[in-house]
A and B are shown apart, each in its own frame.
Chain A
Amino acid sequence: MTDMDLVNAVSEGRPRRSWTFTIGAVIVGLHLLVGLSTLFWTPYDPSAMSGGRLEVPSFEHLAGTDRLGRDLFTLIMIGSRIALTVGIGAVIIGGLIGITIGLIAAFASKTLDDMLAAGLDILIAFPTLLLAMLIVASSEGASLGTAIIAIGIANSAIVARLTRILAKRVLAMDYITASRISGTTWLGVVIIHILPNIWPTLLVNLALQFGLAVIAEASLSYLGLGAPPPNASWGRLLQEAQGTVYSAPFGAIAPGIALVSLVIGINLLADGLRDIADPTRRRRS
């Protein structure tokens, strides 16, 4: 099972049209817009009591209020910002580390390459969440930063393995030999030949990692290992809602819908990206 199969498996079964990209972009764009707008404006003060405790959804409070009387819709909007911050941060960290290690492994001697590959396999065998938990636990106190770094590092192993496989495939080509003979340095080979050839597949994989990072962030904060209050992460909202599930079951619905919609949006975006980035697929459809 390679990452390519994973990438392919996600897309199959749905008609391959770029409408997936459009819908995905609209959903993610909406979350981005909402998340950014919370920097300037929210319907209510996120830390103030704006209504009674555990009010059911109404016109004033679209998603109801939490056990402290805070407006849930406001908190969910801020959750968009936190999810996107962690997701984007983790993808950037995971991408930088993963692509670097993957390229090193692809160029390295056989022994070093084998060692790196085996190490990556062990890392990948551990679920992202567990690695992230370890990293968060070992640092002094959980924060938004530790969550980003932890998820980023956990994801980098998958990116590294994919980069290694893709780069090796390109390195085996005759034009690499020709390029080397004509005097191109190894760095030049990476920039001129390897990166342009592998970025479409990498980009799709990074987009999928983005969706996984959003779920991982929510899980970490659900476990109490994510960003501490007053950061209103969706995972923490759901954890708090579980505590009041007998008196106010509606509290567990809205944050979950927000979370799932963002992940589906990202997955659709990844799917559409693949169709656009890969011309062979475009011709087939």
Chain B
Amino acid sequence: MPAILSYLSRRLIILLVSILVAAMVLFLLLRLLPGDPANALVSVGADPEQIEAARRQVGSDLPLSEQFIHFVSSLARFDLGNSFVSHAPVLPEIGKRLAVTVPLTLMSFTLAIVIALPLGIIAAVKADRWYGWLISVVSQFGIAVPVFWIGILLVTLFAVNLRFFPSGGFPSRGWQRPEAAFDSLVLPVITIAIVMSASLIRYVRSATQDVLGSDYLRTARALGASFSEALIRHGIRNGSVPVISIIGIELASTLLGAVVVERVFSLPGLGSMLLLGIEQRDYPNVQGVLFISTLLVLLIGFAADLTQRIIDPRLRGRAAGSSR
């Protein structure tokens, strides 16, 4: 079997095991936390029978092991249960909200890469120039700024003073009105991209610095390649390996970090569903959102690992799971 296929199969097994473990951890975490899920169904001062009835309805009167078997078998049928509050099935609701969160994440992410790649490379190559230094300093300040403050400032500037974009909300008919939907994502996308590119620039710069100090670049130069030729032919492929694993982590944390940005711009995405679920103690919704986002995080990690293997042949000899 070719090395990449055996790697792929081993990595797939690891992926499946991690999904199962994540489901278990999530299940235990939510059950071990103080407070019975049934509390969401009864009012304050309910008598014991009412509480007992609510617990039967939710299933929290069963032993943990039975609850877990029930949880996993429902998962296998793509059933994440029904919300305690609206009684709507959880999975379709998540699907509806992913239609906001996924475009938001992908667009911010693309914009961040478009900003960070050239700036990070310039910051490393032209470190002795004032603009190279400036990029480094600004990105340094960027990591100290919380994402919601940038969001509020952008709202103040573009929505309140210049009136270019809406200050928040999302068209109720969603992507059926593409221009309106796109308009309402402009400021959130810029907000996330600013914060994300600040930290990406630092990684791109240090990866480029490693490339600049490498022997293979010196050898290429000695063999007669011009500086930019050597950098493009050898630098990009070598430098991209560490950056890809960072990009994977950043993509995952943007997805989950959208909670705050969705609150700033009152977007009906996955994050606001989670926040609402926590406020209303709506366990099925919280559990569903967390499971789906964990699943996405694991899939992103899988894709990042695989991409690294394809780019860097030196990694292919190594066993699955030892890439960290």
Contacts from A to B (Cβ < 8 Å): 1, 5, 8-10, 12-14, 121-122, 125-127, 129-130, 133-134, 137-140, 211, 215, 218-219, 222-223, 225, 235, 238, 241-242, 245-246, 249, 252-253, 256, 259-260, 263-264, 267
Residues of chain A within 8 A of B203, CB atoms compared: 9
Q: State the total of A-B contacts with C-beta under 8 angstroms.
A: 131
Would you give the 0/1 interface string for B254-289, flagging 1 where the beta carbon is closer than 8 Å to chain A?
001101100110000000001100110100001000
Q: Are A13 and B136 in contact (CB under 8 A)?
A: yes
Residues of chain B within 8 A of A129, CB atoms compared: 256-257, 259-260
Is residue B253 within 8 Å, beta carbon to beta carbon, of the partner chain? yes
14 contacts between A and B (CB under 8 A): A9-B206, A14-B137, A122-B22, A122-B25, A125-B301, A126-B294, A126-B297, A137-B278, A140-B34, A235-B146, A238-B148, A252-B153, A256-B152, A260-B146
Residues of chain B within 8 A of A140, CB atoms compared: 34-35
A122-B22, A129-B259, A256-B152 known; A246-B160 Cβ under 8 A: yes
Q: Are B152 and A241 in contact (CB under 8 A)?
A: yes
Is residue B202 within 8 Å, beta carbon to beta carbon, of the partner chain? yes
Residues of A contacting B: mostly: helix
Q: Are A130 and B256 in contact (CB under 8 A)?
A: yes
Residues of B contacting A: mostly: helix
Option from A126, A133, A245, A256 in Cβ contact (under 8 Å) with B155: A245
The docked-state distance in angstroms from the alpha carbon of A10 to that of B181 is: 37
The docked-state distance in angstroms from the alpha carbon of A241 to that of B140 is: 26
| Nearest CB on A from B290, distance (A) | 8
Option from B140, B143, B156, B294 in Cβ contact (under 8 Å) with A14: B140
A13-B123, A140-B34, A252-B152 known; A260-B246 Cβ under 8 A: no
Contacts from B to A (Cβ < 8 Å): 18, 21-22, 25, 29-30, 33-35, 123, 127, 133, 136-137, 140-141, 143-149, 152-153, 155-156, 160-161, 167, 202-203, 205-206, 209, 242, 245-246, 249, 252-253, 256-257, 259-260, 263-264, 274-275, 278-279, 281, 286, 290, 294, 297, 301, 324
Q: Are B149 and A259 in contact (CB under 8 A)?
A: yes
Q: Are B209 and A138 in contact (CB under 8 A)?
A: no
| Nearest CB on A from B288, distance (A) | 14
When C-beta atoms are compared, the residue in chain B nearest to A267 turns out to be B144
Residues of chain B within 8 A of A8, CB atoms compared: 206
Q: Are B146 and A219 in contact (CB under 8 A)?
A: yes
Max chain B Cβ within 10 angstroms of own Cβ: one of A8, A126, A225, A260: A126
